């Protein structure tokens, strides 16, 4: 079975897909799901359709059922047996189960197994990523996902997954080692080194150099250790400026030292000598962003100590902020033009446009971004803010309420959604709903922003 893009759809399927997208915009999720399921029965390898189906299913059950909370009682053993003989047929049964519980671990794991049996690892990835979205701390799935990324040669993605595991569980030595190995394999791939059994140590000249690199790579390495390592790498760079591995190591150390100017310069150079590695370009842009942020912070600190003579500095600060935002928008727009189907890039551009006060321009990008399940909530939150800024309070409340219905854990994102909802309800005079939203946060996090003062103050107003 081959994977299919939107451009390769037959006219009939394309027409149904467009109808499904319109139905989603109108919140007619059941109709959209039926259309997408109809398309996938005819074109099971339609990647975008599969992603949109899962996102729509998640939106439909968001306010009714906890992610992964259903048992999917019965039928899975039969599906497992069917999968061995007829993986394509098993997918129909798996999708039927996922329709009621899109984040179910067992069903998504079988989804992964079916697509692997069909020799389509790209689509198989989607099953494990869906589990990660619904169960972000499920270590077993994260390990499997990281190993899968390694098996298909996506080493940066694997390193990111294993880093995520160690953030949740710093004692997971296996994940830490795999993160390091994945990073090393990515380096070897980008530098053209492809030797059977090669590892990071094979790139180094001797054990002393290995120890120095490992000491400088540890999160707990001192500034002196990192600077000493930079000096060693500087000698290697002088001897061979085209050594991408060395250039990336230098850039990474400057990143940890928060020397954003040098960090950006070396990542930019690394990109220029790589095989157009987009990851390196992105790292360079992030470093430039942080350099601009640091300049703004430094200028703000100067203003604080300048007293009455701060007018010129304030003017410089406003000019710097405007120039920084303008540069971010230009870079984000260029990335979108290069890859217009990437929802992450759409989200970045929409966020920068919102920050620049260009909410109307931001909305279409954020609307496209929210159809991707992995950034859906963030995009909806930003959309709500755009609607609020444009005084379209009813649309803001509707969008944020929908996002809140899809969130279950009281994490930072849910708090932000609830807080924004509370502020908007208050702005339109609906004190009861405003307090209802803020009290949810109050019950979980007393110190969040000014929630305590607002909630407790409301009781004082009643007396």
Q: Do 8 and 59 share a structural domain?
A: yes
pLDDT (tens digit per residue) in 365-397:
999 998 887 788 999 999 999 999 999 999 999
Indicate whether 365 belongs to any domain.
Answer: no
Indicate whether 151 belongs to any domain.
Answer: yes
What average pLDDT does range 49-76 have in this prediction?
A: 65
Q: Do 18 and 88 share a structural domain?
A: yes
- Pair 224, 237: CB distance under 8 Å: no
- Pair 144, 131: CB distance under 8 Å: no
What average pLDDT does range 69-93 have in this prediction?
A: 74
* Rounded CA separation 103/58 (Å): 8
The SS3 assignment for 357 reads coil
Q: What per-residue confidence (pLDDT) applies to 188? A: 65
Q: Do 105 and 8 share a structural domain?
A: yes
Across the chain, what does the average pLDDT equal?
83
Find the range with the poorest average confidence among 122-131, 209-218, 417-426: 209-218
Domain finish residue from 86, 118, 150: 118
Q: Do 186 and 105 share a structural domain?
A: no
The SS3 assignment for 375 reads coil
Give exposure, 262-275, as e/b (b: 16+ Cβ within 10 Å).
bbbbbbbbbbebbe
Q: Do 66 and 94 share a structural domain?
A: yes
Indicate whether 299 belongs to any domain.
Answer: no
Domain finish residue from 90, 118, 146: 118
Q: Do 27 and 114 share a structural domain?
A: yes
Beta bridge pairs of residue 4? 46
179: domain range?
136-190
pLDDT (tens digit per residue) in 316-337:
888 888 888 888 898 889 888 8
Indicate whether 27 belongs to any domain.
Answer: yes
The SS3 assignment for 4 reads strand
Find the range with the poorest average confidence among 35-44, 70-79, 111-120, 186-195: 186-195
Q: How many domains does the chain have?
A: 2
Query: Which burial class, exposed, middle or buried, applies to 340 when counting CB atoms under 10 A from its CB (0-12, 13-18, 19+)?
Result: exposed
Indicate whether 91 belongs to any domain.
Answer: yes
Among residues 68, 172, 54, the alpha carbon closest in space to that of 409 is found at: 68
Q: Do 149 and 65 share a structural domain?
A: no
Q: Do 107 and 52 share a structural domain?
A: yes
Indicate whether 159 belongs to any domain.
Answer: yes
Residue 204: pLDDT band by 50, 70, 90 thresholds?
very low
DSSP string spanning 165-229? HHHH-TT-HHHHHHHHHHHHHHHHHHTT---TT--GGGGSSSHHHHHHHHHHHSTT--HHHHHHH
Residues near 399 by Cβ (< 8 Å), separated by ≥ 6? 380, 383, 384, 387
Indicate whether 34 belongs to any domain.
Answer: yes
* pTM of the entire predicted model: 0.48
Q: Do 3 and 57 share a structural domain?
A: yes
Residue 81: pLDDT band by 50, 70, 90 thresholds?
confident
Helix (H) or strand (E) holding 237: helix 223-239
Q: Where are the alpha helices (DSSP H) in 43-75?
A: 47-61
Q: Do 144 and 110 share a structural domain?
A: no
The SS3 assignment for 29 reads helix
Q: Do 70 and 31 share a structural domain?
A: yes
* Rounded CA separation 84/75 (Å): 15
pLDDT (tens digit per residue) in 230-262:
888 888 888 888 888 889 989 988 988 889 889
Q: Do 140 and 40 share a structural domain?
A: no
Indicate whether 362 belongs to any domain.
Answer: no
Is 90 exceeded by the pLDDT of residue 112? yes
């Amino acid at each position: 079975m081959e994977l299919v893009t939107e451009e390769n759809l037959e006219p009939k399927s394309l027409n149904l897909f467009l109808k499904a997208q319109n139905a989603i915009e109108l919140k007619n999720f059941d109709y959209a799901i039926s259309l997408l399921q109809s398309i996938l029965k005819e074109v099971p390898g339609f990647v975008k359709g599969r992603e949109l189906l899962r996102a729509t299913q998640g939106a439909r059950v968001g306010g009714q059922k906890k992610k992964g909370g259903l048992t999917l009682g019965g039928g899975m053993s039969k599906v497992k047996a069917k999968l061995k003989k007829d993986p394509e047929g098993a997918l129909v049964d798996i999708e039927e189960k996922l329709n009621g519980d899109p984040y179910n671990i067992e069903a998504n794991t079988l989804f992964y197994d079916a697509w692997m049996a069909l020799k389509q690892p790209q689509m198989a990835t989607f099953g494990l990523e869906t589990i990660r979205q619904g169960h972000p701390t499920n270590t077993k799935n994260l390990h499997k996902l990281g190993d899968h990324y390694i098996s298909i040669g996506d080493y940066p993605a694997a390193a990111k997954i294993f880093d995520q595991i160690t953030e949740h569980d710093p004692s997971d030595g296996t994940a830490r080692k795999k993160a390091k190995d994945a990073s090393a394999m990515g380096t070897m791939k980008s530098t053209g080194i492809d030797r059977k059994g090669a590892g990071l140590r094979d790139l180094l000249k001797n054990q002393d150099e290995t120890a120095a690199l490992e000491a400088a790579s540890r999160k707990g390495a001192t500034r002196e250790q990192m600077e000493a390592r930079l000096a060693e790498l500087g000698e290697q760079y002088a001897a061979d400026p085209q050594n991408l591995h060395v250039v990336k190591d230098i850039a990474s150390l400057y990143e940890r030292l928060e020397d954003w100017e040098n960090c950006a310069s070396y990542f930019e150079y690394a990109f220029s000598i790589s095989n157009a590695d987009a990851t390196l370009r992105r790292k360079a842009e992030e470093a430039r962003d942080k350099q601009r942020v640091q300049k703004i912070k430094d200028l703000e600190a100067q203003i604080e100590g300048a007293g009455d003579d701060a007018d010129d500095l304030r003017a410089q600060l406003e000019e710097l902020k405007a120039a920084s935002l303008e540069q971010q928008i230009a870079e984000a727009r260029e990335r979108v033009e290069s890859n217009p189907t990437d929802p992450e890039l759409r989200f970045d551009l929409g966020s920068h446009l919102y920050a620049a006060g260009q909410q109307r321009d931001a909305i279409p990008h954020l609307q496209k971004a929210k159809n991707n399940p992995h950034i859906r909530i963030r995009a909806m939150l930003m959309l709500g803010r755009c609607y609020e800024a444009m005084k379209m309070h009813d649309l803001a409340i509707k969008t944020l309420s929908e996002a809140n219905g899809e969130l279950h854990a009281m994490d930072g994102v849910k708090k932000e959604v609830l807080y924004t909802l509370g502020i908007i309800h208050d702005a339109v005079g609906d004190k009861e709903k405003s307090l209802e939203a803020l009290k949810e946060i109050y019950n979980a996090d007393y110190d969040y922003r000014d929630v305590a003062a607002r909630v407790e103050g409301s009781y004082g107003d009643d007396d």
